[in-house]
Structure formats: structure tokens, C-alpha cells
């Protein structure tokens, strides 16, 4: 399996541990300023920048807590060493620091609040966008009775596998959209051409938002031409989301009855997919499928075991 580049791994690590890294950098920056800068009071405005970043990336609660941490450290330095003034808390010192501390915390709160409102609106737009895709998929699949609901089940399984593998949320969203449209996209290349048009084209704003899903569908359309007995699928330069879609699609397709065969039971379908691990399907994805597929059964069996 192709590993992400060092830059991508670094980005994932930073975003995954953003709060810890931010607090560490904040404390180190504070210590450095008070250790090496002579005009310490003039640098108090510098702390507005990390508060804006904290509100933008961490939300309102994290920004307020970060602001309180900065204020506590600054007040500690004023009490012990002094910021271009005598150490301790007295009238002039409090008159200079208290308004600054209030505006600093307020800045983090306001930025975090605005970012949370923006994210809430984005979630509403994404939900409406996904609902439209689901309606489109239902309409297309209604023409073939044995495929009704297939794309939605593939999307649910693919998302469960991706969550088990701890993929980034953006990749999971692209994977869900690609799973909803994989039947249409692989049969009608006009959809792929629309979705992969240049991002500079202002006439396809919606298509630019679906670019990640389009790349998954495009690779998946050639998936079975690439994999086979000659190559280990884990070594092929395919996106991980494409390998997940292939496993989810095969698992759900085996459970559908067709004019030429009966539907496989769930565990028989899982065994069929596992036989292709390493050649047709990625090993880690198949393992994640077994874990994701086994969870509901374990939950339903508990009352029966207690009754026995």
C-alpha cells in the first residue's frame, strides 16, 4: 500500500494533535518573549494572533481556555518579575493589564463563535447536498429492482470501514459521495468529465466541491483492470479510499440476488471477500470490514445470551 508523503503525514499529525501542540507553542513563545525581549509590554498585542488561530481551528471553548492560560501566565510574570513596570498587583498595573486580558479573551470567544456558526452552515449545506445525491441515486436505482438501495448500503459500509481505519473526515466525506455515485459514474463517463473539469471554471462550482469523489470514482472505474493475481494490491498506487470502495461494493453486491444467482448470506459474502485479500482487495481494508460488519451482530446477541 502506498504510504502518504512526509508532508501529508506531518499535516495529519498537526491536525490530530493541534490542541496539545498549540498549548506547547504558546507556553514556549510566552517564556521566550519574557526571557529575551526587553520591551515586554509592547509585545502584549502579539497574543491576539494565537487567540485568533485558537478560535479559528479549535472553536470558542478552546480559544477562551487558551486566552485564560495566556492571561494567567502574563499576570504571573507581572507579579514575579514585572512587565516594564514594578512587579506586583497595584492600580497602574491592573489598569493596564485587566482591559487587555478582557479584550484578549473576548477576541478568542468571538472568532470561535463565528467559526462555529460558519461550520454549522456548512454542515447544513452538506446535508442538503447529500440528500440531493441520495434522492438522485434512489431515482436511478428504481429502474432496476434488484439494485434498490445498493449504493446507500455501499456508502454505509464504506464509511464504517473508513472510520475503523481512522481516515481523515474529508476523505470519509469524499468516499461517501463516491459510493453514492459509483454505479452512475462508472457507467456514464459524462459525470466523471463534469466532476473533473478544471477548478478554474466558474460554471461548475458544485463540481469542484465533488472533485475528491470524482477522483475516487475515476480510479474505481479501472480498478479491476489493474488488480489481479500478478500484483499485490497493497503495493499498487491506488488511493486508500478506492480500495475501501472496492471492498464495500463487492461485499454488498454479493448479498444482492441477481437473475443468475441467489443472494449470499452476510457471513458467506464476507468469506468470499476475505478469499480475495491481498490480490483483489487490500488486507487491512478486509480486516476493517470484518470488524465493522461484526459489531451489530455482537450487540444483538447480548440479550439472547442473558436469557439463556
- Residue 239 above 80 pLDDT? yes
Local structure of residue 243 (DSSP, 8 states): H
Q: Work out the pLDDT band at 285, boundaries 50, 70, 90.
A: very high
Q: Work out the pLDDT band at 102, boundaries 50, 70, 90.
A: very high
Task: Read off the C-alpha cell for 296.
Answer: 451489530
Q: Let me know: does 44 contact 82? Beta carbons within 8 Å.
A: no
Sign of CA dihedral 258, 264, 270, 276: negative
Report domain extents, the chain. 6-117, 144-307
Q: Measure Cα distances from 116 to 122, 138, 209, 227 in Å.
A: 10, 33, 20, 43
Across 18-55, b (16+ Cβ under 10 Å) vs e yields eeeebbeebeebbeebbeeeeebbebbeebbebbbbbb
The residue with cell 479559528 is 56
Domain 144-307 classification at class level: mainly alpha
| pLDDT (0 to 100) of residue 213 | 79
Q: Let me know: does 280 contact 243? Beta carbons within 8 Å.
A: no
Q: What is the pLDDT of residues 183-221, one digit of tens each?
A: 765 555 555 555 555 444 444 444 455 677 778 888 888
Residues in a beta bridge with 281? 277
pTM equals 0.57
Q: Let me know: does 264 contact 255? Beta carbons within 8 Å.
A: yes
For residues 110-123, average pLDDT:
86
Task: Read off the C-alpha cell for 37.
Answer: 525581549
Q: Let me know: does 105 contact 64? Beta carbons within 8 Å.
A: yes
Neighbouring CB atoms inside 10 A of 246's CB total: 25
| pLDDT (0 to 100) of residue 205 | 43
Sign of CA dihedral 56, 60, 66, 67: positive
| pLDDT (0 to 100) of residue 235 | 77
| pLDDT (0 to 100) of residue 8 | 66
| pLDDT (0 to 100) of residue 81 | 82
| Least confident residue range of 88-102, 121-135, 276-290 | 121-135
- Residue 182 above 90 pLDDT? no
| Least confident residue range of 21-25, 207-211, 248-252, 292-296 | 207-211
Q: Let me know: does 112 contact 61? Beta carbons within 8 Å.
A: yes
Q: What is the pLDDT of residues 38-58, one digit of tens each?
A: 777 777 888 888 888 888 888
Amino acid at each position: 500500500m502506498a504510504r502518504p508523503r512526509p508532508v501529508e503525514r506531518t499535516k495529519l499529525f498537526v491536525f490530530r494533535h493541534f490542541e496539545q501542540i498549540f498549548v506547547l507553542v504558546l507556553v514556549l513563545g510566552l517564556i521566550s518573549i519574557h526571557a529575551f525581549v526587553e520591551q515586554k509590554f509592547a509585545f502584549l498585542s502579539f497574543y491576539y494572533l494565537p487567540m485568533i488561530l485558537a478560535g479559528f481551528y479549535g472553536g470558542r471553548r478552546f480559544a477562551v481556555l487558551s486566552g485564560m492560560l495566556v492571561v494567567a501566565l502574563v499576570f504571573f510574570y507581572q507579579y514575579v518579575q514585572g512587565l516594564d513596570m514594578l512587579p506586583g498587583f497595584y492600580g497602574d498595573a491592573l489598569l493596564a493589564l485587566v482591559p487587555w486580558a478582557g479584550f484578549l479573551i473576548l477576541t478568542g470567544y468571538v472568532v470561535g463563535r463565528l467559526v462555529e456558526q460558519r461550520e454549522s452552515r456548512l454542515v447544513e449545506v452538506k446535508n442538503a447536498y447529500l440528500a440531493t445525491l441520495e434522492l438522485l441515486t434512489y431515482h436511478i436505482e428504481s429502474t432496476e429492482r434488484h439494485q434498490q438501495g445498493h449504493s446507500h448500503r455501499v456508502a454505509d459500509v464504506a464509511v464504517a470501514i473508513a472510520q475503523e481505519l481512522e481516515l481523515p473526515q474529508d476523505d470519509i466525506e469524499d468516499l461517501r459521495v463516491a459510493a453514492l455515485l459509483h454505479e452512475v459514474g462508472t457507467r456514464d463517463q459524462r459525470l466523471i468529465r463534469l466532476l473533473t473539469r478544471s477548478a478554474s471554471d466558474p460554471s461548475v462550482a458544485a463540481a469542484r466541491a465533488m472533485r475528491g469523489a470524482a477522483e475516487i470514482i475515476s480510479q474505481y472505474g479501472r480498478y479491476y483492470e489493474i488488480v489481479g493475481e500478478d500484483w499485490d494490491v497493497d503495493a499498487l498506487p491506488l488511493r486508500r479510499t478506492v480500495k475501501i470502495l472496492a471492498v464495500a461494493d463487492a461485499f454488498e453486491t454479493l448479498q444482492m440476488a441477481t437473475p443468475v444467482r441467489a443472494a449470499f448470506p452476510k457471513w458467506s459474502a464476507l468469506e468470499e471477500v476475505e478469499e480475495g485479500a491481498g490480490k483483489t482487495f487490500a488486507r487491512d481494508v478486509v480486516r476493517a470490514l470484518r470488524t465493522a460488519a461484526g459489531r451489530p451482530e455482537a450487540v444483538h446477541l447480548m440479550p439472547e445470551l442473558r436469557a439463556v
